[in-house]
A and B are shown apart, each in its own frame.
Chain A
Amino acid sequence: MKLLTLNFLTCAIKTCKSSPSSFPLHPRDAELEIVEADLNLKFLENILPRLMWDELRVVVDELGLPTLPPTIPTRADLVAPSSPTSSSSSSDPAPSQTARDLHRILIETCVREGKLVCGNCGHEYAVKEGVANFLLPAHLV
């Protein structure tokens, strides 16, 4: 499960959703893997305004990955400055290092095994073979 997914996940228990501590879910005993994927600059640019950056930084820290910058990159930060020698008006803009880093973190870094824990109720959701399972036991539905 790619880390971008965590940006849109909270506890499945209804009463937790109103509590700010239910987001983001906290990875525990996580085994990460890199799943290589083509970098889609447009996709990154488009997704940027939807990222909950502070929460994403928390998750990245908890996973022991290199800390993200304190402020979210801008759209312009994702595009490499075009070199003055090349006439690049017709070609697609190239991704910057920032874009490549973001792609690595959001898209290519995946939780393969482990748990996702709600900061409000403490419920643990298992991740197995890259698939997170949010089915609740009957008494919690």
Chain B
Amino acid sequence: MTSIPPDPDTTTDTALEIKSRGEEYEAQHVHSVYEEIASHFSSTRYKPWPIVERFLKEQPDGSIGADVGCGNGKYLGVNDRVFIIGSDRSTNLTRIATRHAPHSAIVASILALPHPHNAFDFAISIAVIHHLSTPERRIEAVRCVLELLRRPSTPDAQDGGKALIYVWALEQKESRRGWDEGCEQDVMVPWVMKGKKEGGRKAGRKGRRRRKQGDGDGVGEQEQDEGSEHQMGAGQGDQEGEQEEGQKEPGDKTYLRYYHLYRKGELEHDIEEAGGRVVECGYEKDNWWAIATPKGDT
């Protein structure tokens, strides 16, 4: 399979923009977008990723967990024998997430979580930390997740709480986006909200569409591909390398979200910088993931 050129629709930042990154930047290029697309976004997010599902299911009964950046709460449905408090920056997504008994969901920033330190047995933060727009803020975000967890009983013990972190990978040349080593890591990724009256057109095209792994719908995370194309209306991005704008029809609206694409080893580096230890890590379908634990007090 030949690699696909980077999506021309994905704009890279200028030096000027880099300087302005931070809280305000994320408010405009991440938070407000999710607030706008919450309902549509949520309808495309219901299939748990296998590694996350496994992590949640292997937690002992009665464990206390945090799902930082829980979105619509799709991971709150995986294990009802533990208690998870989900949190998300988007009120609209949090409202959807509160429907998952016996768990709970609150609105909060990953950088200012309203939880006691060292109180949680486990945490997950799935497709969240790549939305923070400076290296310092990403490392701080990892630190904030690790702070929630029980410390190990001794500096070398393995019994501390564990956090599973997922971020989008730079190395995903097999995906429709086609990014790979050497590409710009700070990108704006479009989300296209289809307007009305797409039904007939969609059905007609379905037959000659060819899906492949990682074939994004202008969305990014893999889960979009796995179970939701029928929900997405599929209009955008169904031919490789074709940009959303080309498929855009009257009534469609494009939102751009900021992402930092992680290169190999970068997530582990951030975890170390944040005072954590990497227990396990890997790559799965366009994403880097790691299980981290806080280092004991020395």
Contacts and interface: CB of A to CB of B under 8 A. Distances in A.
A40 B23 CA distance: 41
Interface residues of B, number: 32
B112 A134 contact: yes
B64 A8 contact: yes
A107 B91 CA distance: 22
Nearest to B65: A8
Interface residues of A, number: 36
Given A130-B98, A133-B91, A133-B107, A8 B116 contact: yes
B89 A135 contact: yes
Contacts, number: 97
A47 B115 contact: no
B117 A13 contact: no
Contacts of A130: 98
A49 interface: yes
B112 A40 contact: no
B109 A136 contact: yes
Contacts of B98: 1, 130-131
A4 interface: yes
Contacts of B78: none
Interface in A4-41: 4-5, 8-14, 17, 23, 25, 37-38, 40
Contact of B91 (A10, A125, A131): A131
A68 interface: no
B172 interface: no
A11 B120 CA distance: 16
A14 B23 contact: no
Given A1-B106, A40-B80, A131-B105, A138 B61 contact: no
B203 interface: no
Contacts of B107: 131-135
A133 B87 CA distance: 10
Contacts of A38: 101
Contacts of A125: 114
Nearest to B111: A141
Nearest to B105: A131
A23 B114 CA distance: 10
A140 to B, nearest CB: 8
25 contacts: A1-B104, A1-B106, A4-B102, A5-B104, A5-B106, A8-B85, A8-B116, A8-B120, A10-B115, A12-B109, A12-B113, A23-B116, A42-B61, A50-B62, A132-B107, A133-B107, A133-B108, A134-B87, A134-B107, A134-B108, A134-B112, A134-B114, A135-B107, A136-B109, A141-B23
User: Which 10 pairs from chain A and chain B are nearest by CB?
Assistant: A46-B62, A134-B108, A12-B114, A5-B104, A134-B114, A133-B107, A12-B112, A132-B106, A46-B61, A10-B116
